[in-house]
Structure 1
Amino acid sequence: MEPFIYLDHAATSWPKPPEVLQAMQKAMEEAAANPGRGSHQMAVKASRVLFEGRKILSQLFQVRNQNDIIFTYNTTEALNLAIKGLLKSGDRVVATMVEHNSVRRPLEYLKRVMGIHVEYIPVNGQGQLDMAKLKAALESRPKLVISTHSSNLLGSILPVAEIGELARRFGAVYLVDAAQSAGCLDIDVSAMNIDLLAFPGHKGLLGPQGTGGLYISPSIDLEPLLHGGTGSQSEEKEQPAVRPDRYEAGTPNTAGIAGLRAGVAEVMRQTPQQIYRHEWELAQRIIEGIRGIRHLRILGPEAGQPRTGIVSFVSSEKDSSEIAFRLDREYGIAVRAGMHCTPLAHEAVETLQTGAVRISVGVTTTRREAHAVIDAVKDICGQRP
C-alpha cells in the first residue's frame, strides 16, 4: 500500500497498536477452540481470553461485575440488543437529534411494528442538547432515554452525567451510545447513572473490526437478540438466565476479543484524558487552519470548546464528495464524506441536502498530518496564495 494519511478514525481507528496484531495471532495459534464448549486445554485458554477481555473493559468503564459486559460484533448490535431487548408495545422513548442510524432505525422499526412512541430532542447549531426540552419530555415518564456521548458528525459532547441524573429522577432507563467516546472520554457507569452502555472495539479502543459490547446494569433483564448454543445449560430449551451466556449465543470472535483487550490496555496505558487532549489539540489546529477559507462552514462547537477529534465542514462552492475524492486521489488523505448515518444531525445543522466532509483524528495522528490536510483543503477550495 502506498503511504497515505488516514483521517477517518471516527469510522475505524488505524493503524492498530502492534500489540493488537500480536495478541490476535497468539489467540489464533494457542486459543483457537470454542470457549465454554469444552474442558480441553485450548478451550480453557479461549475462555481465558474472554475473561481477560471482560475484566479490562470493566476496569475501563468502572463496572463492578465483569459478567455485566456482553460481547457483540459492533456498536450496532449492542444498540439493537439494548433497544429491542427492553422495549415493549406502547413504550415511550426519548432520544436526541444527533443519534446515529443505529439508534434511529431500530426505534423507527419498533415504532412501526410495536407502536412505541419516540421523541427526538433538538440540538443547537453547535450540537448542544436543549436541556429544557429534555426535561419537559421526561415529564411523560418514558421507559427509555437514549443519547450519544459524542456526535459522530459534529464532535459535540453531550452532558451524559446530567442526562443520566435526570433519567434516574424520572424513572427511565438510560442508554448511552459510546461509539465516539469510548477510549477518549472518561466513562463511569455508576457515577453517570448509565444503565446500558453500547461501545465499539474498533474505534477509540484500538481493537479490530468485529468487536464491541454492551454493559447491562444488573437491575435490567433484556430479552436476548439471539438464541442458540452457549455451552451452558444445554439440556434446557430456553436461553440460560445467567450472564453473559444469556446474551452471547454462538461462537464468539475470540481472536478479535484478544486484540480488543490489547487495544484497551494501550488506551489505559496512555489514559483517555491524554488521548482526548491529543485529539482535541489536533482538531483545534485543523479548525484554525481551515476556518478562514471562503464559502466553507465548519460544523459543531466553536473553536476552543470541548469536542472529540471530529472536524466536519461543508463548502457552498464544492461538493462534499468531490472534496473527499480529491483528498484521497490527489493528496493521499483518507477522510469521509456524505451523511455519516446521522440524518437527524444534518437536519439540525441544515446540511441534509449537502452532506459534509468529515476529518477525524486519532491517537496516532501527527501535527504534520493535520497541517497536510489543512494545506490540501486550501488547495482544493482555491485558497492557497
Structure 2
Amino acid sequence: MKQLIYLDYAATSWPKPPEVLAAVLNTLEHSGANAGRGNHSLAMGTGRVLVRARAALAELFGVANAQDIAFTHNTTMGLNMAIRGVLKPGDHVISTMTEHNSVRRPLEYLKRTLGIEVDYLKVNNEGQLDLQELSDSFCYNTKMAICNHGSNLLGSILPIEEIGSIAKKHGAIFLVDAAQTAGSVEIDVGRMGIDLLAFPGHKGLLGPQGTGGLYISPQIELEPLILGGTGSQSESSEQPSVRPDRYEAGTQNAPGIAGLLAGVLKIKSVGLHSIHQQEWQLTQLLMGGLASMKGIRILGPQQGEKRTGIVSFVMEGLDSADIAHRLDREYNIAVRAGMHCTPLAHQAADTLKSGAVRASVGLDSTEHDIDRVLAAVREIQKSSRSR
C-alpha cells in the first residue's frame, strides 16, 4: 500500500513533531506530579512547564499578562467558558453563518434556557461578512460579537481587526474562535481588539489532543464553568479570585501542555509567515488542479485570494462521503467529508444536502501530497463517469 497522505490538519495536526513527542514522554517520566499541589520538586517542575507554556502562548498571541490565559482541553471548552461565563437573560449576540457547532450549540442552548437573542449574519460565496450589515446589527442589548477567525469549511479568513473595532465602537465583548488560525495566521489580541480568544493546542499549534486555551481580557470577569480544587485559597469555599486558578479547576494535562509548549516553540523556530505561505502555496496548487476538472466546485475564496490551508469541494454526481471513503480505502489519502460540524456554513455554500470533501494541509504537507490527491480525484471522477 502507498504511504499515507494525511490531509486532515483542520481536524488535528499529524504527525506530531519529534520535539512534541519527546516533551510529552519526558514529562511523564521525570515530572509527572500535579502542578500547584505541593512544594516538592516534582510538583514544582510540572509547575514550571505550565508557566513556560503560558508565557510562550502569551508571546505568540500578543497577550500582555500570561496569567490571562487559562488552559482548556480544547477550543470547544474555551468557547463554552467564554459564552456561558458572560451571557445573561436578555442579552443579544451577533455571530455568523460560518460558525462551528462549538459556538452555535452553546448559543442555541442559552437561547432556549435563558432567552438570549442571537443573530447569525450571512456571508458571501467567499465566506466574508458585510461589515456595514455587521455594524447595523448592534442594538441596545448586544453583549457579545462572536466569529471564527477562519472558517473550517470555506477556508476564508475574516478581517478580525476591523470586526474588533466595530465591536468596541458598540461596547460589545468580542470573542474569536481561532481553531483554524492559531499557529498559522498572525493573532494579536491587543491590536485586533479581541477580548476573548479560544484556541486549540492540537491543530496549528502542533500539540497533543486534549490541549487548548482561552485568553480572557483583564477587563472581563467570567463566571467559571467548572468549580473545584486549584491548590490555591483552599481554605475558601469559593472559587479563587486569582488568575489563572479561577478558571483551571482540577488536575491539568501536564504532559499535553509540555507537548503544546514544544509545538509552539517549533512554530516560532519555523516562523508564522513561512508556515502560512507554505500552506497557501499548497492550497493554490490544489485549487488549480481541481479547477481543471469539469464538474467540481471549490468552496470559499477564489484562487489567488487569502485563505487558510483548507480546500473544500463538491463533485457533481458523487456524494462527498463516498469520495472520502474511496480516497481512504483505495488511495490511502485521509481527508474529511460531510457537514464538518458547521451546518450553517453549508447552508450558506448551498451544500447542506451534499456535504463537501475537505482537504487541509499543514506543516508537513508537500507538493507530492497534492499531486497524489489530484491524481486520485481524477481517477475517481473518471471511474464514476464510466459506470
Shorter chain as denominator, the TM-score bin is over 0.9
Question: Partner of 1:83 in structure 2?
Answer: 83
Secondary structure of 1:179's match? coil
Distance 1:340 1:231 in 2: 38
Pair 1:31 & 2:31 matched = yes
Question: Partner of 1:227 in structure 2?
Answer: 227
Letter of the aligned partner of 2:168 in structure 1? Answer: R
**For structure 1, which segment, 310-319 or 145-154, has the greater mean C-alpha deviation from structure 2 after superposition?**
310-319
Distance 1:96 1:345 in 2: 9
Deviations along 1:192-228, one digit per CA (max 9) or x if unpaired, are 0000000000000000000000000000000000000
The answer to whether the Cα contact below 8 Å between 1:85 and 1:223 also exists between their aligned partners in 2 is yes
Distance 2:313 2:22 in 1: 37
1:272 offset after TM fit, Å? Answer: 1.2
Identify unmatched segments of 5+ residues in structure 2: none
Alignment of 1:107-186 (within 5 A): 107-186=107-186
1:2 offset after TM fit, Å? Answer: 7.3
Question: Partner of 2:17 in structure 1?
Answer: 17
Question: Partner of 1:56 in structure 2?
Answer: 56
Pair 1:335 & 2:335 matched = yes
Question: Partner of 1:315 in structure 2?
Answer: 315
1:271 offset after TM fit, Å? Answer: 1.2
Question: Partner of 1:67 in structure 2?
Answer: 67
Deviations along 1:325-345, one digit per CA (max 9) or x if unpaired, are 000000000000000000010
The answer to whether the Cα contact below 8 Å between 1:279 and 1:309 also exists between their aligned partners in 2 is yes
Letter of the aligned partner of 1:176 in structure 2? Answer: V
Distance 1:309 1:62 in 2: 23
Distance 1:275 1:357 in 2: 23
Runs (4+) off by over 4 Å: none
Judging changes above 3 Å, is the alpha-carbon distance between structure 1 residues 303 and 2 closer, same or farther for their aligned structure 2 residues?
Answer: closer
1:139 offset after TM fit, Å? Answer: 4.0
1:347 offset after TM fit, Å? Answer: 0.5
Identify unmatched segments of 5+ residues in structure 1: none
Distance 1:141 1:88 in 2: 11
Secondary structure of 1:382's match? helix
Question: Partner of 1:189 in structure 2?
Answer: 189
Distance 1:286 1:315 in 2: 15
1:130 offset after TM fit, Å? Answer: 1.7
Question: Partner of 2:346 in structure 1?
Answer: 346
Question: Partner of 1:201 in structure 2?
Answer: 201
The answer to whether the Cα contact below 8 Å between 1:141 and 1:171 also exists between their aligned partners in 2 is no
The answer to whether the Cα contact below 8 Å between 2:85 and 2:223 also exists between their aligned partners in 1 is yes
The answer to whether the Cα contact below 8 Å between 2:91 and 2:141 also exists between their aligned partners in 1 is no
Distance 2:129 2:97 in 1: 8
Aligned length, in residue pairs: 385
The answer to whether the Cα contact below 8 Å between 1:153 and 1:358 also exists between their aligned partners in 2 is yes
Distance 1:82 1:204 in 2: 21
Judging changes above 3 Å, is the alpha-carbon distance between structure 1 residues 140 and 96 closer, same or farther for their aligned structure 2 residues?
Answer: farther
The answer to whether the Cα contact below 8 Å between 2:2 and 2:331 also exists between their aligned partners in 1 is no
- Give the TM-score, by structure 1 length: 0.98
Distance 1:331 1:174 in 2: 43
Question: Partner of 2:301 in structure 1?
Answer: 301
Deviations along 1:337-381, one digit per CA (max 9) or x if unpaired, are 000000010000110011100000001000001111011111101
